[in-house]
A and B are shown apart, each in its own frame.
Chain A
Amino acid sequence: MASPRFILAFLFTICLSCVSYLEPWYQKWSGAENRSGDFLSVLIGDSRRLFSNQMVAKADAYFHSGYYPTIFDAPKEKEESHLSGDNDAEAGHDEDHDEQPGSTNHVEHAEHQHSATCGHNQKSEDGFLGPPKDWIDRFGRKFFPSQHSHLESGGEREILPWLRLSAELDPQRIDTYTVAAYWLRKRLGKIDEAEQFLRDGLRANPDSYELYFQLGQIFAENRNNLVRARNLLEIALRKWQEQEKAGLKPNELSYQQITGNLAKLEEKSGNVAQAIFYLKLLQEKSPVPQTIQQQIDDLQKK
């Protein structure tokens, strides 16, 4: 039997030989190159995307001051975030969109969506909890948030850490950036922070028409820089069209918002012909083309 010291030295030599071969190979391996170097990615890998959705739900729960359904409440109802416009909500919204071109965007409808999704809650004070089922249930409601309320008067800032964390966990989740930017810009007056966050989003999602659109809105509405706003909206429109050509089925409401806002900007700048061009683009996808035609006619009369 060889001495333990010899075995130890032998095993160490094998380890050293293996690592001298494997390390250069690992550095060249494409899988390693594509891997993000941040701490969370290394720690939890792709499962971080699941946690990202949880963080958005957490932000939504904060928006309601903790009054939020659990998995045990109303299990048959479809779960959806009250804060963000997810695809289904957007699709639903498409139908009842009031066709005011350029007036709003899907994130700005967050509150309207919220009213829609929580409508049943507002009808009764019990909301998703329903009437108390027994005395323990009735008694227990004094010990956790059991009244429907919303954050207001700047209190909305409390949802932001969870949205930031959600973006860290899943940088490809576009809604996180647009929702956070909406609250920062519209409710908290933090224009620089909203722009910065959207730019963070653009670094992770350079082909996102939603982010370009949001950024364009900041320059149009808050910075009053119509030239930059128009450039950004034109990029947004181009990105949208590229995605449509690639068969990715981009959101049609976003298209209406981009073209509508472009038409508004051109009209403001005195480029009536260009405004009409964008309105015609909008008309192609609009559920109420007659209204758009009316706007085109009005512009042509000018």
Chain B
Amino acid sequence: MNNALAVSGIVLKELYRRKDFYVLFILTALITLVMGSFKLFNDDKIVRYLKEICLLLIWVSSMVIAITTAARQLPAEKENRTIFPLLAKPITRGQLVLGKFLGCWFSSGLALLLFYVFFGVISGTREHQWPVLNYLQALSLHWIFLGVVIALVLLGSVVFTAVSSNATISFIVIVGILFVARHLNKIALQLAEPGRSIVYTIYFAVPHLELFDVRQLIIHNLPLIPWNMWLIACVYGIAYSLFFLLATWMVFRRKSLN
């Protein structure tokens, strides 16, 4: 575990050396502040549109950070040939995969924390209420979501040859799941066999990432998610992350590094 944490520390340092996060954060803040500066119908209590825009930007930024960071980890080590001294430490391939995952996940979490603090300050100053627990639920679910995404992208990085193709395919798959996964059962019910069974199987098999997107609850100031449901969702997300990590390790341990 120490080896994995050491690797994750390097990934974490990489995040604050790179400019991706700063650019995305400044862009998010700038767009939100500009949108917030409009006074619509002389009413400064209108806030939900601003929350929606800010949360959308946070989701897009966090996905971009997570996917681009995770996609280049293993290919970059191979390309720079630093993977050989790394594995000679000795670190097992499993520890390397775990370390890369933890590094990406922690760095995404750190970025997410800053984004949500900004969001909380913006919405709090406009709404004059601070639903901290709701924000904590949204932040934690969002972080779990990024864990699944990072694990999925790491799996992609040992399957696909190029970083760009992995990042693009992962992005399309994740966005597709976010938009369609919840509705696959409805689509299945309208189909004849064997289409119905196939679509229903896909519905049960795909990770339901949309569960972690609770933006609508935050935007419309809806009550907290029951904590037992929140816990089950966290376990569900962590289980999928472990599944993808295990799959990554299984592919990576047999993969030639040359």
Contact = CB atoms under 8 A, between A and B. Distances in A.
The main secondary structure of chain B at its interface with chain A is helix
Contact of A65 (B46, B182, B189, B220): B220
B225 interface: yes
Contact of B41 (A134, A137, A140, A160): A160
B78 interface: no
B7 to A, nearest CB: 33
A70 B183 CA distance: 9
Contacts of B43: 157, 160, 188, 190, 193
Contacts of A22: none
B234 to A, nearest CB: 12
A168 B211 CA distance: 34
Interchain residue pairs A-B with the least CB separation, the first 5: A72-B183, A66-B216, A65-B220, A161-B49, A193-B41
Interface string B152-194: 0000000000000000000000000000001101110110000
Interface stretch (B89-97, B109-117, B202-210): B202-210
A79 interface: no
Contact of B204 (A136, A142, A158): A136
Nearest to A158: B48
A230 interface: no
A73 interface: yes
Interface in A106-160: 133-134, 136-137, 139-140, 142-145, 154, 157-158, 160
A127 B186 CA distance: 15
Interface residues of B, number: 35
9 contacts: A72-B186, A136-B208, A140-B208, A143-B213, A143-B233, A145-B222, A160-B43, A184-B41, A190-B41
B226 interface: yes
Contacts of A140: 182, 208, 210-211
A66 B182 contact: no
Contacts of B214: 143-144
Contacts of B47: 158
B217 interface: yes
B216 A145 contact: yes
A162 interface: yes
Nearest to A188: B43
Contacts of A133: 185-186, 189
Contacts of A280: none
A193 B211 CA distance: 40
A197 interface: yes
A164 interface: yes
B219 interface: yes
A65 B222 contact: yes
B42 A193 contact: yes
Contacts of B17: none
Interface in A158-173: 158, 160-162, 164
Interface in B31-67: 40-43, 45-49
Contact of A143 (B185, B217, B220): B217
Interface string B223-258: 001100100110000000000000000000000000
Contacts of A190: 41-43
Given A140-B182, A144-B217, 17 more contacts: A62-B220, A66-B220, A136-B204, A139-B229, A142-B226, A142-B229, A143-B217, A143-B233, A144-B210, A144-B213, A144-B214, A144-B216, A145-B217, A161-B40, A184-B41, A193-B41, A193-B43
Nearest to A68: B216
Interface string A53-79: 000000000100110001011010000
Contacts of B225: 142-143
Contact of A154 (B40, B45, B141, B185): B45
A66 B226 contact: no
A164 B185 contact: no
B88 to A, nearest CB: 45
Most buried by A among B186, B204, B229: B186
Contacts of B49: 158, 161-162
A144 B219 CA distance: 11
Most buried by A among B204, B222, B232: B222
A73 B233 contact: no
A75 to B, nearest CB: 8
Nearest to A162: B49
Contacts of A137: 185
A65 B52 CA distance: 12
B31 to A, nearest CB: 15
A73 B222 contact: no
Contacts of B211: 139-140, 143
A145 B213 CA distance: 12
A60 B197 CA distance: 35
Interface in A252-300: none
Given A136-B185, A136-B208, A140-B210, A145 B40 contact: no
A156 to B, nearest CB: 10
